[in-house]
């Protein structure tokens, strides 16, 4: 599985499209086997789902995401998990352990 986490510093970004970067993590059998930080190329409607799909991402984690973006990610068979906050390392650990807590989608526009 390849997961992209919307990243601002060492925290999950509140908005997937306006984050500084994406922490892209490869997970195999519950273990992190690769990690890359990819700078956000810019927030343009419809661009980021294709950009992340081209990089093999099958799940994106963010604080928030609008319904249109969620629909576009679904077209690429990319699972969206929103309402996530906290440090990247903790979120990653919780995700791997199937213990990720989510709250309300921070970006409901």
Q: What does the pLDDT look like over 28-50, one tens digit per residue?
A: 999 999 999 999 998 787 899 99
Verdict on whether the full-model pTM lies above 0.85: yes
**29: its two tokens:** 């059998």
Q: Which residue segments constitute the domains of the chain, with CATH numbers given?
A: 2-39+54-64+75-94 (3.30.420.130)
| Residue 106, pLDDT above cutoff 80 | no
* Dist CA 95 CA 99 (whole Å): 6
Dump pLDDT digits (tens) for 48-65: 999 999 999 999 999 999
- pLDDT tens for 86-99 read 999 999 999 999 99
Rounded-to-integer distance, Cα 50 and Cα 109, Å: 21
pLDDT band at 108; cut points 50, 70, 90:
low
What tens digit of pLDDT does each residue of 62-86 get?
A: 999 989 999 999 999 999 999 999 9
* CB-based contacts of 14, cutoff 8 Å, min separation 6: 8, 62, 63, 64, 85, 106, 107
């Amino acid at each position: 599985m390849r997961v992209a986490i919307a990243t601002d510093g060492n925290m999950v970004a509140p908005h997937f499209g306006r984050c500084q970067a994406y922490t892209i993590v490869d997970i195999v059998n519950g273990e992190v086997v690769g990690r890359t930080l990819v700078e956000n190329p810019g927030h343009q409607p419809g661009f980021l789902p294709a950009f992340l799909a081209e990089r093999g991402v099958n799940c994106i984690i963010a604080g928030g995401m609008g319904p249109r973006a969620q629909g576009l990610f679904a077209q690429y068979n990319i699972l969206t998990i929103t309402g996530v906050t906290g440090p990247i390392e903790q979120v990653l650990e919780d995700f791997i352990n199937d213990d990720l807590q989510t709250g309300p989608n921070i970006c409901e526009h």
